[in-house]
Amino acid sequence: MHDKQFKKEMLAESAQAFRAGRMDRRTFLALCGASGVAMNAVLAGDAEAAADHVVMWNWGGQSEECHGSAIGEAFTAKTGKGLKFDTSGPLEGKIKEMVDSGNVTADVADADLFNAVSLGPTGHLEPIDYSVVSKDKTLPGYALEYGVSIILYGYAFVYDTEAYGDNPPQNWADFFDTEKFPGTRALYKWANGSLEAALMADGVAGSDLYPLDMDRALNKIQSIKDDSLYWGSGSEVHSMVVNNEVSMAIIWQNRGRNIENDTDGQYKLVNNQAMAMPGAYIVPKGNPAGAAVMDFIATAQDIPAQLALLDCLGMTPSNPEAFDQIPEDQQPYAITSAMNIDKIVYNDPEWWGNNGGDAVNAFLEAIS
Amino acid sequence: MQALNRHIHPGWLIIAPLLLMVVALYLGPILNILWLSVTDPEPGFGNYAKLTEGDALIRIVWTTVRICIITTVFSVIFGYSIAYAMVHCHQRQKTYMLTLLLVSFWISILVRTFAWLMLLGRKGLVNVTLEDIGLVAEPIAFMRNELGVLIGMVHYMIPYAVLPLLVSMQSIDQRVMDASRNLGASGSQTFWRVYLPMTMPGLVASTLLVFILSLGFYVTPAVLGGGKVLMVAEYISVQLLVTLKWGTAAMLAAIMLFGVLAMLWIMSRFMKLSTVFGGAAR
């Protein structure tokens, strides 16, 4: 009798420890096994433990703090569930590996919408439940079966005002014109945005970009190869610009403000022909929190969360209702603000999801 | 049991757990990669055929091999000089030098890579100084190109080149050199015809170590190459994480593995490799 009581208490203790993350799953299961608790009881407890929080898989750094304050707090207030983070960066290969291994530990990944196109049909993602998540709270075409765009980021460029002060570059054609605007350029290494910019520079209209004419784009890219560097991360291009290594650089448009500040205005952001990229939330197949994650995604679509993400991370809302609430000082740096929305073009996640792998390889081969 | 003992030495039982671990944790994954290279995305040698389809993959492999050879040559030459100095200076200085050498192992490769940008970048210390004293009009492009990659890699690899050479030089009997001078050989003759051949095992060991480690370089080429120097390791990582062409990645990994094994085999034709790894020259 005493034994039974002891076992019960021990298991209750360890279940709490497991829930709070102080004990790993293996130890917990071993204890359950040792005290002869049936497997189904353990699994029920396991599911329950997982259901009181949602794990967001993002890139860490500032986004951990911002996702917590912008979405996590409202989500907890609404549902009573917490928000935890995995900050290892949800690259496509890592999502595939996690789902294939059968050990899915994340509920929602802060990824690109084209990931939903490439990973969804192969069975690596849960479909978005549009009875909970709203199709109207994102741009048309950006609510897909396996992913929904929550924020927009963009590819724009900055230029050195000391180099081109009197006659500044105004569009991608100028960016690719090394005769009129001599100096080194920095482009994004993984092709995205760089290909579209090259095509627009070559005279393709922003609305006729897709399907991308790869040969034409790569020819244009190669025409400035000797005058260009390629960056792989936001901090890398930031340091290239701040250290004056380049005269023009394609950047993630949400970094524009930081670059202008860090260079005391020497570099200036150009949003003309900037490309809006749908950043999306996608759900790995068999996620531990199950359907609860849809509430989280819906919370992120709400206007307060959308504006808070803009304020904290510089990510532009994708919910059209939030567009006219973008504050005055964010107008130049938000890609869908009234100031910019008529100048921009939109990325096609379908094309990138289906052709992205080959496009990245062709691009890498062209620049190396 | 006795019958068993007659055929299998009992010593095998002691090392069996270790052997099993090596097979499970090391050979298993390697076989898995080889398997992946002929099964993903479809069974057959399609991934290997890609090598012949265009010049892109061959170019990436060639860039890697070229950079690794140059890195190895410079690292081993510098490493040889450093090891030589360490063996022949006073004990006190030797301790200082050894400490400095070991300290460099503790500094992260990222920090060492970015330090070169601070020093030799367009607005780095060296270029700014040269421009200020009027020696150059335009900054010299040390970084963000192949030269930058080589500088970063050689710098990282020198300590690895020194250690095997140091061990080999320390074990040489100094009296042999005295005998050589005594028999009328000049200083340089003694070096080229006595000292250098005696340090050959160390030289080969450090060459192999540096070359093989260089093949896997990823961070340094990515940062210092300005995106235009694409080496195999970075390409493999892109295929795994971004483009999901795991078959291509596995194929390239297999090519690298067999390349290194082939290199070892060719070398074993010319010399006793066991001496390189510390065994006796039988």
pLDDT in tens, A41-78: 444 444 444 568 999 999 988 889 999 999 999 999 99
Q: Which uninterrupted H or E stretch holds A20?
A: none
What 3-state DSSP class applies to A210? coil
pLDDT one-digit tens code per residue, A127-163: 999 999 999 999 999 999 999 999 999 999 999 999 9
Q: In chain A, which residues touch B (CB < 8 A)?
A: 91-94, 96, 118, 187, 189-190, 225, 229-232, 236, 239, 243-245, 356-358, 360-361, 364-365, 367-368
3-class SS of residue A149: strand
Q: Is the pLDDT reported for residue B2 higher than 90?
A: no
Share of chain A above pLDDT 90, in %: 78
Nearest to A245 among B144, B240, B245 (CB): B144
Which residues in B lie closer than 8 A to residue A225 (C-beta atoms)? 228
How far is B230 from chain A, CA to nearest CA, in Å? 6
**Which candidate from B59, B223, B242 shows the least CB-CB separation from A91?**
B242
Which are the contacts of A97, defined by CB distance < 8 A and separation ≥ 6? none
**Separation of alpha carbons A288 and B9, rounded Å:** 51
Q: What is the mean pLDDT of chain A?
A: 88
**Percentages helix, strand, coil for chain A, rounded to the nearest 5?**
50, 20, 35
The predicted structure's pLDDT at residue A9: 54
Pairing of strands A147-160, A108-112: unpaired
Of B222, B228, B241, the CB nearest to A93: B241
User: What is the identity of the amino acid at A95?
Assistant: I
User: Residue B8: is its pLDDT beyond 80?
Assistant: no
Å between A148 CA and nearest CA of chain B:
20
Is-contact A281 A297, C-beta < 8 A? yes
CB count, 10 Å around CB of A59?
16
- B241·A361 Cβ contact <8 A: no
pLDDT score of A126 = 96
Q: What are the tokens at B280?
A: 């006796």
Chain centroid to CA B71: how far? Answer: 8
A51/chain B closest Cα distance in angstroms: 29
Residue of A nearest to B243 (CA): A357
Residue A115: closest CA among chain B residues belongs to which residue?
A: B242
What CA–CA distances, in Å, run from A165 to A181, A183, A266?
11, 14, 9
Mean pLDDT of A249-257: 91
Q: Give percent of chain B above pLDDT 70.
A: 94
Give start-end residues of each CATH 3.40.190.10 domain in chain A: 53-151+278-333, 153-275+345-367
Third-level CATH fold of A53-151+278-333: D-Maltodextrin-Binding Protein; domain 2 (3.40.190)
Nearest to A365 among B56, B229, B246 (CB): B56
CATH topology of domain A153-275+345-367: D-Maltodextrin-Binding Protein; domain 2 (3.40.190)
Residue B223, pLDDT above cutoff 70: yes
| Residue B142 in tokens | 């040390």
Residue B282 has pLDDT above 80, yes or no: no
pLDDT one-digit tens code per residue, A29-38: 565 555 554 4
The count of C-alpha atoms lying within 13 angstroms of the C-alpha of A193, restricted to the half-sphere facing its C-beta, is: 25
- Least confident piece of the model among A311-320, B98-107, B272-281: B272-281
In angstroms, the separation between the Cα of residue A190 and the nearest Cα of chain B is 9
- According to DSSP, the β-strands at A143-144 and A108-112 are unpaired
Neighboring chain A residues of B243 at a CB cutoff of 8 Å = 356-358, 360-361
The mean per-residue pLDDT over the stretch B173-186 comes to 92
Give the tens place of pLDDT for each residue, A271-308.
999 999 999 999 999 999 999 999 999 999 999 999 99
On the question of pLDDT at B183 being above 80, the answer is yes
d(CA A117, CA A99): 16
Cis amide bond preceding A211, omega within 30: yes
E strands, chain A, are 53-57, 82-86, 108-112, 125-126, 143-144, 147-160, 185-188, 228-231, 248-252, 267-284, 316-317, 345-346
Higher-confidence residue: A37 or A183?
Answer: A183
How many A/B residue pairs have CB atoms within 8 Å?
70
Pick from B56, B144, B240: CB nearest A229: B144
Q: What pLDDT score was predicted for residue A136?
A: 95
Helices (H), chain B: 2-7, 11-22, 28-39, 46-53, 56-88, 91-106, 109-120, 125-132, 146-170, 174-182, 187-190, 196-198, 200-215, 219-224, 232-241, 246-270, 273-276
Over residues B211-230, the mean pLDDT reads: 91
* Nearest chain B alpha carbon to A96: B244
Average pLDDT value for residue range A181-186: 94
Separation of alpha carbons B149 and A368, rounded Å: 13
Q: Where does the pLDDT of residue A88 fall: very low under 50, low under 70, confident under 90, or very high at 90 and above? A: very high
Closest-CA residue in chain B for A237? B226
Least confident of A34-43, A60-69, A93-102, B156-165: A34-43
pLDDT at A348: 96
- Look at B245 and A189 and tell me if their CB atoms are within 8 Å: no
| Chain A CB contacts of B63 below 8 Å | 368
Query: For the segment B45-93, what is each residue's pLDDT rounded down to a tens digit?
Result: 888 988 888 788 999 999 999 999 999 999 999 999 999 999 999 999 9
Return the SS3 of A230: strand
**Residues on chain B touching A354 (C-beta within 8 angstroms):** none
Q: List the structure tokens of B116.
A: 């070169």
Half-sphere exposure of B265 (CA within 13 A, CB side): 6
- DSSP run (H or E) holding A315: none
- Assess contact for B214 and B157: CB atoms under 8 A: yes
CA B195 to chain centre: 24
**Residue A246, pLDDT above cutoff 80:** yes
CB crowding B33-61: b at 16 or more within 10 Å, else e: bbebbbebeeeeebbeebbeeeebbeebb
Q: Please name the residue that has the structure tokens 């050199």.
A: B177
The reported pLDDT for the residue numbered B105 is 85
pLDDT tens digit sequence for A199-223: 999 999 999 999 999 999 999 999 9
Which chain B residues are closer than 8 Å to A243 by Cβ?
A: 117, 121-123
Q: Is B228 on the interface with A (CB under 8 A)?
A: yes
| Residue with tokens 């994954």, as numbered in its chain | B29
Residue B15 contacts residue B225 (beta carbons within 8 Å): no
CB contact under 8 A, A229 and B63: no
Provide the token pair at A27. 């130890």
Instruction: Estimate to the nearest angstrom the gap between the alpha carbon of A179 and the chain centroid.
Output: 35
Of B123, B241, B244, the CB nearest to A243: B123
- DSSP class of residue A108 equals E
Q: Pick the more confident residue, A171 or B44.
A: A171
Question: pLDDT tens, B100-140?
Answer: 998 988 899 889 998 999 899 888 899 999 999 989 888 88
The pLDDT assigned to A42 comes to: 40
Domains of chain B, CATH where assigned:
1-39 (no CATH), 45-276 (1.10.3720.10)
CB contact under 8 A, A230 and B227: yes
The verdict on B117 touching A (C-beta cutoff 8 Å) is yes
Please say whether the dihedral angle defined by the alpha carbons of residues A126, A127, A130 and A136, taken in this order, is positive or negative: positive
> In whole angstroms, what is the distance from residue B142 CA to residue B224 CA?
9
